[in-house]
Amino acid sequence: MNFDMTKPIPDMQPWSAGFWEGTREGKLLIQTCGDCGSKIFYPRKYCPECWSGNLGWMQASGNAKIFSFSTAYSMVEPKFMDELPYTVAYVDLDEGIRMMTRIVECDPADIKIGMEVEVTFFQRGDFYLPYFRPAKK
Amino acid sequence: MSKGNIAIIGIGEVPTGTYPERKPWDIIYETCMEAVRDSGLHKNDIEGVVAVAPQAQPRLSAEISFGKLPEELGLKGCKDTVICNAGGASTSNCLRMAEHWIENGIARAVLIPHVTVHSTIPIPELVNFFAQAGVDLQWEYPFGSTYNIIMGLIANRYMHETGCTAEEMASVVTALRSWASRDPNSIFYKKDVPSVEKVLSSELLNSPLHKRESNVLGDGGCAMVVVSAEDAKKMKRPAAYKLGESVRYFSGSPVLRDFRKVGEGFKSTAKEAMAQAGIRKEDVSIWNIYLAYPLAHPIMAEALEVAPPGQAGKYFLQGRMSFGGDIPWSTIGDAVGRGHTGSGVSAATYVETARQLMGRAGERQVKNCRYVYQNTSGGSGFNVIATIWGREVK
């Protein structure tokens, strides 16, 4: 069987380019609305709260807590098999944003809900995916 | 005052399983002809066809979308046809479209078919389709997410908040399979019902989901004939009347789904649908739940107030939702019991709702079945549609 083994890169949109440019510089950016002050995730063309196009970016601290996680051992797409086991998580940034990520640089058995984590960037092609690792005390 | 505008008066179904020799059009012919005959109508009485969109089958989907079904079946009275795609919520939208056509005089009798044949789709295509459907290709897919992992994220959080144990979660499979083992249309018909220990001893796919807590893909299909409630009464045949409906949208991307909002949505839509139907929770004979994954059932049982907060897992473990238990629940066993047919499990659940209200569910027949709560949900859970069905208009 011929599986596509290409690792997927983010399906970037023009209005999310700033986010991915930030990751190349080691910055985790949050889109903000200049009119209503909303913090927006994921980045949109217009503010989902007030439909303003006056959008900008703020740098997040990179600190977060794990809201939930699931460690994969099997039954993922063939293109991800070589990375097993891996842990996918929802993390809540200190700035009030929830995002999907990977938890890395630790034993999956040590991962807990509520655990403090910090951002680290993982290169895939021309992109740097925001992963998280246990926060250094 | 209940909604009571339409009724299902005919049903047809083929067994779910792996039958590569059974072509999609074999299933369409068989189920549609059975449903029309069951309704007591002639094929030319069917004035509208509203089809459930088959997932991951673009050629079949295009054929049905562009009007082939009435032509193929020789439905000479057909005035129009359309396909509805909202993933697992497609069938609810087919019923809504049928209701609209019937209320507005576009059609008096509407045929709603579903067909899925997974077994002839090349595995790489199937894997890729289900990996990308219902997740965001920028913010989720690159992290290696899958439907199983999304379910794992939900289940882990629920277990963390409620203290629900792995044994209790596994018992949902036992409960659902106890119904499926008695369903001639199930992939697990007459198969042993796995114990909690057997479920937990199966491979851990991703925490906390075991292999026996995930779904087996199958081929299947069914069809329903829908008419106005008024016509159904005149026809003096067993029927399932739609009495209430309520819906909430949550989010297209799982990461943006607020868990509390989902729980509240499950709860309020059920209450609103019951209020519309003029019934109370105690009047519900069957909770016919479609959630695809067993690990989501305790969340639903608590949201519906069928079980107290944090106690649903215990209810399942005690066998209260199993065949013979005091809370008839998902009487085809949801996707883990029936076999997963893409958008078809919800269609099969509606057929089961009708079958139970018509008093024709065989060994699974719930005694004195008067009202059925049935939900559907689309994609990876972007919405919930709650409906109440009765064997008569209140």
- With an 8 Å Cβ cutoff, are B153 and A68 in contact? yes
- Please tell me chain A's helix, strand, coil percentages from 3-state DSSP, rounded to the nearest 5: 15, 40, 45
Interface predicted TM-score of the whole assembly (ipTM), two decimals:
0.97
**Calpha distance B111→B224 (Å, rounded):** 6
Average pLDDT taken over every residue of chain B: 96
Give pLDDT tens digits for B185-230: 999 999 999 999 999 999 999 999 999 999 999 999 999 999 999 9
Mean pLDDT of the A107-121 span: 98
**Calpha distance B173→B316 (Å, rounded):** 9
Write out chain B residues lying below 8 Å of A88, CB-based. 143-145, 149, 152-153
Mean pLDDT of the B54-59 span: 93
Domain A61-137 has CATH 2.40.50.840: yes
Facing residue for A100 by CB, picked from B122, B143, B211: B143
- With an 8 Å Cβ cutoff, are B137 and A8 in contact? yes
Asked if the bond preceding A42 is cis, omega within 30° of 0, the reply is yes
Tell me the pLDDT band of B361, cut-offs 50, 70 and 90. very high
Facing residue for B143 by CB, picked from A3, A74, A102: A102
Report the candidate in B366, B368, B370 with the shortest Cα–Cα distance to residue B243.
B370
- With an 8 Å Cβ cutoff, are A72 and B204 in contact? no
CATH code given to domain A12-59: 2.20.28
Mean pLDDT of the B71-91 span: 97
Reduced to 3 states, what is the DSSP secondary structure of residue B310? coil
**What are the CA-CA distances from residue B70 to residues B57, B115, B140, B327 (Å)?**
19, 15, 40, 40
Q: Which part of chain A has CATH 2.40.50.840?
A: 61-137
In terms of DSSP H, where are the helices of chain A?
A: 17-24
Is the CB of residue B138 less than 8 Å away from at least one CB of chain A? yes
Is the CB of residue B122 less than 8 Å away from at least one CB of chain A? yes
CATH code given to domain B6-121+222-235: 3.40.47.10
Is the CB of residue A89 less than 8 Å away from at least one CB of chain B? yes
**Calpha distance B61→B165 (Å, rounded):** 41
**Calpha distance B352→B372 (Å, rounded):** 10
Tell me the pLDDT band of B129, cut-offs 50, 70 and 90. confident
Using H for helix, E for strand and C for coil, what is the string for B68-137? HHHHHHCCCCCCEEEEECECECHHHHHHHHHHHHHHCCCCCEEEEEEEECCCCCCHHHHHHHHHHCCCCC
Q: Which residues contact B255 (CB under 8 A, 6 or more apart)?
A: A42, A90, A98, A99, A100, B136, B139, B140
In B86-114, which positions are buried (b, 16+ CB within 10 angstroms) versus exposed (e)?
bbbbbbbbbbbbbbbbbeeeebbbbbbbb
Strand duo B240-249 + B383-390: pairing: antiparallel
Q: What residue ranges do the domains of chain B occupy?
A: 6-121+222-235
Facing residue for A3 by CB, picked from B124, B136, B255: B124
pLDDT of B15 above 90 = yes
Report the candidate in B373, B333, B327 with the shortest Cα–Cα distance to residue B353.
B373
Tell me the pLDDT band of B2, cut-offs 50, 70 and 90. low
Q: Select the residue from A29, A100, A124, A132 to test the B interface by mutation, using most B Cβ atoms within 10 A.
A: A100
Is the CB of residue B214 less than 8 Å away from at least one CB of chain A? yes
**Taking a C-beta distance cutoff of 8 angstroms, is the pair A123, A104 a contact?**
no
Question: What share of chain B has pLDDT > 70, as a percent?
Answer: 99
B162 token code pair: 């409620």
Mean pLDDT of the B307-319 span: 98
Q: Which part of chain A has CATH 2.20.28?
A: 12-59
pLDDT of B275 above 80 = yes
Write out chain B residues lying below 8 Å of A83, CB-based. 144
pLDDT for position B1: 45
pLDDT for position B133: 86
**Would you tell me how many other CB atoms lie within 10 Å of the CB of residue A18?**
14
In sequence order, what E strands does B117-261 have? Answer: 204-206, 209-210, 219-228, 240-249
- With an 8 Å Cβ cutoff, are A73 and B203 in contact? yes
Reduced to 3 states, what is the DSSP secondary structure of residue B64? helix
Asked if the bond preceding B54 is cis, omega within 30° of 0, the reply is no
Write out chain A residues lying below 8 Å of B254, CB-based. 100
Average pLDDT taken over every residue of chain A: 97
Give pLDDT tens digits for A51-107: 999 999 999 999 999 999 999 999 999 999 999 999 999 999 999 999 999 999 999
Write out chain B residues lying below 8 Å of A101, CB-based. 143
Residues 28-47 of A with CB under 8 A from B: 42
State the Cα angle at B75 between B69 and B77, rounded to 5°.
130
- With an 8 Å Cβ cutoff, are B144 and A4 in contact? no
**What are the CA-CA distances from residue A82 to residues A124, B58, B106, B178 (Å)?**
14, 30, 55, 37
CB half-sphere exposure, A62, CA atoms < 13 A: 17
Q: Which residue of A has its CA nearest to B160?
A: A113
- A/B interface, count of CB pairs below 8 Å: 114
Is the CB of residue B260 less than 8 Å away from at least one CB of chain A? no
